[in-house]
Amino acid sequence: MLILENITWAVPGGEQILKGVDLVIPSGGLTVITGPNGGGKTSLAKIVAGIETADSGRILLDGEDLTSLSITERARKGVGYAFQQPVRFKGITVRDLLELAAGHALGEKELCDILGSVGLCTHDYIDREVSTGLSGGEIKRIEIASVLARSDTKLCIFDEPEAGIDLWSFAGLLEAFQKLKTKNSGSILIISHQERILNIADEIVVIADGKVKARGSRQEIMPTLLADEKAAHCPRGKEVY
Amino acid sequence: MNKITEKLLEVIADWTGSFSGAFNIREDGQCVGRQSSPFVQIESMAGGAGMEIRILPGCKGETVYIPACVTKSDVTDLVYNDFYVADGCDVTIVAGCGVHNDGEGEAKHNGIHRFFIGKGAHVLYKEKHVGIGEGSGAKRIDPITDIHLEEDAVMEMDTTQISGVDSTVRTTNANLAARAKLIIHERLMTDGDETAKTDFTVNMNGDDAGVDLISRSVAKDRSHQEYRSIIRGNTRCTGHSECDAILVGNGTVSAAPELFAGHIDAALIHEAAIGKIAGEQILKLQTLGLTEEEAEQKIIDGFLRG
């Protein structure tokens, strides 16, 4: 279980982004955080992973205080994080990245399971560099795979995993999250604007203007989100925010 | 051969106590082992300045080892090696150089290698350079490689300088005939106060010749590297060069790639990037559980291996 207590954060020398976030993310479930752009979702995720440091507040994972731990220490405590904008590496292959994530050498079957779960064929990708030779969609899937490759996670965070994923592969992505939920007893936290991802959530949290604006089951939250969208005269589409 | 040479050979030429097939081992300017094979003849040049290595017609899949080692101070080893590869041959040539220096004087190796590669032949040339030893004397390696590729010949040159060489000037010149291909992968790492200069000149003189020149380097500490390349497309041809360097600490790199298109159908491309390791790369690997130092090392290892 992830507990966030009164998290605040401001851009150094700039705007106050998070204004006191209190949140409990239960174990064994899939929570989706949504909300308008600039509301603080990615900042909050980065603070949980240790990439940014909160100005105040506490972060507890399964009762252990992570607040003062480094990124590395949090990762070793079981925090997995898939970046919204994946990083490219010259010279590091897909195999290298997945084996670093897993912490050990991976056999062909394991690699096939991991890459297959994000819709990629091992044979075609395993020796390719995680670099400019891969499209945005391909690199995004590999980023997601790098979290799925880890076996020790208590909390998996995916920041806008749908970005760059084509419509035809979306069902596979949803299936991968469902599978992860089944095999992983920890928490899954997804930041997303996508209705189809919101539809698989056990719980939806709406963050806007640096605060938790609403939280509840998808049955409770979705009608409000869709009504807000309509009221804002957004074109009817897949993004609810 | 002395123990230091054996140690250097393990690093530069995958030595496991012996070589199979043709080889010549050079230690402190002297030949300490030589063997020819039915398809590879190794003979001393007149005057003893070096060797002629002849890859004979019909040679397929053989590996030839031509390593050179300098094991002590106050040695300047200059050697000329000429490789003649017959038409249609397919051969791997391993020609690394290791310099060991525990003294105060300079230890230096200059290897001047000339390749005359016949029509349709394929050569994989592997060259690994390393410097070891705790002496204050400089360790220098200054290789010159001249390549002449006839029609349809292919040469892949895999050249690496791992570490420990105080100063190096690496010069490579190539002339390509019609449909000849040259692929060069250079990997270079300098640290401390080391300096490295690389200079490539490639002339494409026959239609449909092609060159792919990829250089990846890491300059650590206070080390300095200079990269120069010129690709001249004198006919209908393709040329690509890619020069990437990572800076660590106070390392500095100067890169000056040049392209010359002397024909309307010469298609030449250059890409270059110099900079420190991107912070996001370190962060990504930290989220996988690596420390900052481990992440940096993985990124450098991968970069130089790729």
Q: What is the pLDDT of residues A11-32, one digit of tens each?
A: 988 899 999 999 999 999 999 9
Partners of A80 on chain B (C-beta within 8 Å) are: 287
pTM exceeds 0.95, yes or no: no
The reply to whether A239 falls in a domain is: no
B161 pLDDT band, cuts 50/70/90, is very high
The reply to whether A240 falls in a domain is: no
Is B283 close to A72, i.e. CB distance below 8 A? no
Between CA A104 and CA A48 the distance in angstroms is 25
pLDDT of the residue at A239: 59
**Within an 8 Å CB–CB cutoff, is residue A239 touching chain B?**
no
Number of domains composing chain A:
1
- Return the percentage of chain B with pLDDT > 90, whole number: 95
The reply to whether B290 falls in a domain is: no
Partners of A89 on chain B (C-beta within 8 Å) are: 281, 299, 302-303
By a Cβ cutoff of 8 Å, what residues of chain B touch chain A?
A: 216, 244, 278, 280-281, 283-292, 298-299, 301-306
Give residue-wise pLDDT tens across range A166-182. 776 788 889 889 888 88
Expressed as residue numbers, the domain containing B266 is 3-279
pLDDT of the residue at A232: 55
> Averaged over A47-75, what is the pLDDT?
97
pLDDT of the residue at B206: 98
The reply to whether B176 falls in a domain is: yes
A235 pLDDT band, cuts 50/70/90, is very low
Answer whether residue A226 shows pLDDT above 80.
Answer: no
Looking at per-residue confidence, does A77 or A152 come out higher?
A77
Expressed as residue numbers, the domain containing A207 is 2-231
Contact between residue B303 and residue B216 where contact means Cβ atoms under 8 Å apart: yes
Q: Which residue has the tokens 């994530």?
A: A101
pLDDT of the residue at A170: 82
**Within an 8 Å CB–CB cutoff, is residue A141 touching chain B?**
no
- Positive or negative, the CA dihedral A233, A235, A236, A239 is negative
Q: How far is A236 from chain B (nearest CA, A)?
A: 35
Closest chain A residue to B284 measured between Cα atoms?
A: A87
A231 pLDDT band, cuts 50/70/90, is low
The reply to whether B287 falls in a domain is: no
**Within an 8 Å CB–CB cutoff, is residue A158 touching chain B?**
no
Is A92 close to B280, i.e. CB distance below 8 A? no
Tokens describing residue B160: 């690496």
The reply to whether A237 falls in a domain is: no
> Averaged over B256-266, what is the pLDDT?
97
The reply to whether A203 falls in a domain is: yes
Is B306 close to A80, i.e. CB distance below 8 A? no
The reply to whether A103 falls in a domain is: yes
The reply to whether B293 falls in a domain is: no
pLDDT of the residue at A234: 47
| Complex ipTM value | 0.92
> What kind and span of H or E run contains A231?
helix A218-231
Between CA B23 and CA B97 the distance in angstroms is 14
Give residue-wise pLDDT tens across range B221-236. 999 999 999 999 999 9
Answer whether residue B256 shows pLDDT above 80.
Answer: yes
> Averaged over B79-100, what is the pLDDT?
97
Q: How far is B302 from chain A (nearest CA, A)?
A: 4
> Averaged over B142-171, what is the pLDDT?
96
- Positive or negative, the CA dihedral B78, B56, B160, B4 is negative
Q: Provide the CATH number for the domain around residue A177.
A: 3.40.50.300
pLDDT of the residue at A142: 95
**Within an 8 Å CB–CB cutoff, is residue A183 touching chain B?**
no
Number of domains composing chain B:
1
Partners of B301 on chain A (C-beta within 8 Å) are: 91
pLDDT of the residue at B48: 73
Mutate which: A88, A89, A98, vs B, most B CBs within 10 A: A89
Between CA B145 and CA A92 the distance in angstroms is 30
The reply to whether A85 falls in a domain is: yes
The Cβ-side half-sphere exposure at A9, using a 13 Å CA radius, reads 26
Selecting from B287, B299, B304 the residue whose C-beta is nearest the C-beta of A89 gives B299
pLDDT of the residue at A163: 83
Is A72 close to B289, i.e. CB distance below 8 A? yes
The reply to whether A198 falls in a domain is: yes
Alpha carbon distances (Å) from A45 to A158, B266, B298? 9, 50, 25
pLDDT of the residue at A122: 87
Give residue-wise pLDDT tens across range A125-149. 999 999 989 998 899 999 999 999 9
Partners of B296 on chain A (C-beta within 8 Å) are: none
The reply to whether B134 falls in a domain is: yes
Q: How many helices (H) and strands (E) does chain B have?
A: 3, 22
Answer whether residue B104 shows pLDDT above 70.
Answer: yes
Mutate which: A48, A76, A84, A87, vs B, most B CBs within 10 A: A87
Contact between residue B99 and residue B140 where contact means Cβ atoms under 8 Å apart: yes
Nearest CA-CA partner of B142 in B107, B93, B174, B108: B108
pLDDT of the residue at A237: 44
Closest chain A residue to B304 measured between Cα atoms?
A: A91
Partners of B290 on chain A (C-beta within 8 Å) are: 72, 100
The reply to whether A238 falls in a domain is: no
Mutate which: B276, B286, B287, B297, vs A, most A CBs within 10 A: B287
Give residue-wise pLDDT tens across range B35-78. 999 999 999 998 778 999 999 999 999 999 999 999 999 999 99
Residue-averaged pLDDT of chain B: 95
Radius of gyration of chain B (CA): 20
Selecting from A90, A93, A100 the residue whose C-beta is nearest the C-beta of B244 gives A90
Q: How far is A77 from chain B (nearest CA, A)?
A: 9
Partners of A83 on chain B (C-beta within 8 Å) are: 280, 284, 287
Selecting from A71, A91, A93 the residue whose C-beta is nearest the C-beta of B287 gives A71
CA A215 distance to own-chain centroid: 18
Q: Which long-range contacts (CB under 8 A, 24 or more apart) does B1-8 make?
A: B1/B25, B1/B27, B1/B32, B1/B33, B2/B27, B2/B71, B4/B69, B4/B71, B4/B72, B4/B100, B5/B32, B5/B69, B5/B71, B5/B98, B7/B100, B7/B132, B8/B67, B8/B69, B8/B71, B8/B98, B8/B99, B8/B100, B8/B130, B8/B132
Closest chain A residue to B279 measured between Cα atoms?
A: A87
Is B291 close to A72, i.e. CB distance below 8 A? yes
Other residues' Cβ atoms within 10 Å of the Cβ of residue B205: 17
